[in-house]
Amino acid sequence: MKKILVTGGAGFVGSNLVRRLVQDGDCQVTVLDDFFTGERRHLEGLNVNLVEGSVVDAELVEKLAQDQDVIFHLACRNIIVSGQMPRQDLEVNVIGTFNVLEAARNQKVGRVVYTSTSSVYGNPRYIPILEEELPKFLNFYSSSKFAGESYAHTFYEMYGVPVTILRYSNVYGPNQSPRNPYCGVIGKFLTAAIQGQPLNIHGDGEQTRDYTFVDDAIEATIQAALCPKALGEVYNVGTEVETSVNRLAHLVLEVTKSSSPIVYIDKRDIDNIRRRSLNIGKIRSHMRFSPSHSLAKGLLKTLESLR
């Protein structure tokens, strides 16, 4: 695993992956990013081949896939953008993913790791959620990401494209820029607490999520590219710990030693999932993956990066 293409490699998770591959893996990394939410500064000081462009450009993707050992496909429109721009969501998340898979097939890439989302589960029947849980699509984002999964499975079954699918759960950590209007709740809470601003909670705050520190998500992502058992498989990437937004807000106030008030505001359209915690027994069994960061530990590391 030496020559690697990372789509969306200037984004939050992508840039953390690229840094790990370059600094610890001594890999030759090409990054494809359209900088819709990605930032060049995330890759400063790294020896990478940075290409500005979109996965929607099939010819460009085909060209960049040549001679690659692995493609990590992270490029997508996130959940908020997907709701605002559903056609763009379709083009990037579905057609873009098809382009990556087709290029991987044509260029005989050794492995494709497609990063999906736990949003495909909607409101699950059981907690923690198994990979076998039936999907429920409550927004365009979950629909488009699951469509990408479907194409990945089809390319694997029909053409033998060596693909592995990961379903991330609420990843947070360094490079989750608070300047980005689509930043996740942890980045927003930490920034507000540092600045003495209110921590705004949508709804009653009792909705739960499985918050995953980015270093743990990256470890799972790299292992997915290396594990022989992972071919054609889907894995949850989380912690199996269910945390309410209220609990998260109080933890943020503790680690920042902030006196910011907690303010409750109206729910958003995307706030329609009540509970989330992922079962990670499968990835633990196949890859011996186990997250090494508690939420408190991850918050402290994220706080250090923001300061």
* Catalytically active residues, by annotation: 141
What CA–CA distance (Å, rounded) separates 262 from 236? 31
Do residues 214 and 173 make contact, with C-beta atoms less than 8 angstroms apart? yes
User: What 3-state DSSP class applies to 246?
Assistant: helix
Distances (CA, A) of 279 to 123, 211, 239: 15, 13, 8
Residue 203's Cβ-count burial label (10 Å; 0-12, 13-18, 19+) is middle
Give the helix ranges, DSSP H, for the chain.
Answer: 12-23, 58-65, 79-84, 86-89, 96-107, 140-159, 185-195, 214-226, 245-256, 281-287, 295-306
What CA–CA distance (Å, rounded) separates 8 from 72? 9
Q: Tokens 């629909």 appear where? A: 143
Strands of the 3-7 sheet, one edge to the other: 49-52, 28-33, 3-7, 70-73, 111-117, 163-168, 234-237
Assess whether the previous peptide bond of 86 is cis (omega < 30° from 0). Answer: no
Which DSSP letter does residue 72 get? E
Residue 70 β-bridge partners = 4, 111
What CA–CA distance (Å, rounded) separates 217 from 221? 6
